[in-house]
Structure 1
Amino acid sequence: MLEVGIETLLLLMAAGFVAGFIDAVAGGGGLITVPVLLLAGANPVTALATNKIQGLFGAATAARAYAKGGHVKLRDQAGSALIAFVASILGALLITILPTGWIRMILPVLLIGIALFFAFKKGLGDQDRARRLGPATFALTMVPLCGAYDGLLGPGAGSFYMLAFVSLAGYGILKATAHTKLLNLASNAGALCAFALVATPWWITGLCMGVAQIAGAQAGATLAQTKGAGLIKPLLVLTSVALAIKLIWDML
Structure 2
Amino acid sequence: MIEPDIIALLTAVAVLTGFIDAIAGGGGLIMMPALLTAGLPPVHALATNKLQSVFGTGSAMLNFWRKGHIDLKANWLTIALVFAGAVGGALLVQRISSSALGLIIPLLLVVSAAYVLASPRMSDEDAHQRLTARGYAPVGGAIGFYDGFFGPGTGTFFTTSLVGLRGFGLTRSTALTKAFNFASNVASVLVFAMAGKMVWLLGLSMAAGAMLGGWIGSHTAMRFGAGIIRPLLVAISLGLTARLLWSYFG
Both structures adopt the same fold (TM-score exceeding 0.5): yes
Superposed CA deviations along residues 191-227 of structure 1, whole A, max 9, x for unmatched, are: 2222224452111221121112111111111111111
Q: Deviations over 1:89-146 (max 9, x none)?
A: 112223337x987897577456524532324xxxx3111000111110001x211110
Cα shift at 1:77: 3.1
CA distance in 2 between partners of 1:155 and 1:169 (Å): 22
| Contact 2:78-2:134 at 8 Å conserved across structures | no
Please name the residue that 1:33 is paired with.
31
Q: Which residue of 2 aligns with 1:183?
A: 180
How many corresponding residue pairs? 242
**Residues 98-247 of structure 1 correspond to what in structure 2 (within 5 A)?**
105=107, 108-109=110-111, 111-119=113-121, 124-139=122-137, 141-228=138-225, 232-236=226-230, 238-240=232-234, 242-243=236-237, 246-247=240-241
TM-score normalised according to structure 1 size: 0.84
Q: CA RMSD in A?
A: 2.7
Asked if 2 retains the 8 angstrom alpha-carbon contact of 1:85 and 1:187, the reply is yes
Distance change >3 Å, CA 138–CA 238, structure 1 → 2: farther
CA, structure 1 residues 12+92, in 2 after alignment: closer, same or farther (shift >3 Å)?
A: same
Structure 1 runs, 4 residues or longer, greater than 6 Å off: 99-104
- Go from structure 1 to structure 2 and tell me whether the alpha carbon gap of 1:244 and 1:87 turns closer, same or farther (over 3 Å shift): farther
Q: 1:43 to 1:159 in 2, by over 3 A?
A: same
When normalised by structure 2's length, the TM-score is 0.84
Secondary structure of 1:118's counterpart equals coil
Q: Equivalent residue for 2:55?
A: 57
- Range 238-247 or range 127-136, more displaced: 238-247
Residue in 1 aligned with 2:46?
48
Deviations 1:16-74 (A, max 9, x none): 11111111111122233223333433222211111110000000011111111222123
Q: Give the Cα–Cα distance (whole angstroms) in 1 for the partners of residues 64 and 86 of structure 2.
A: 23
Q: Give the 3-state SS of the residue equivalent to 2:167 in structure 1.
A: coil
Contact 2:27 2:152 in 1 (8 A): no
- Structure 2 stretches lacking a partner, 5+ long: none
What is the alpha-carbon distance in structure 1 between the residues aligned to residue 29 and residue 107 of structure 2? 17
Gaps of 5+ in 1: none
TM-superposed CA distance for 1:234, in Å, is 3.6
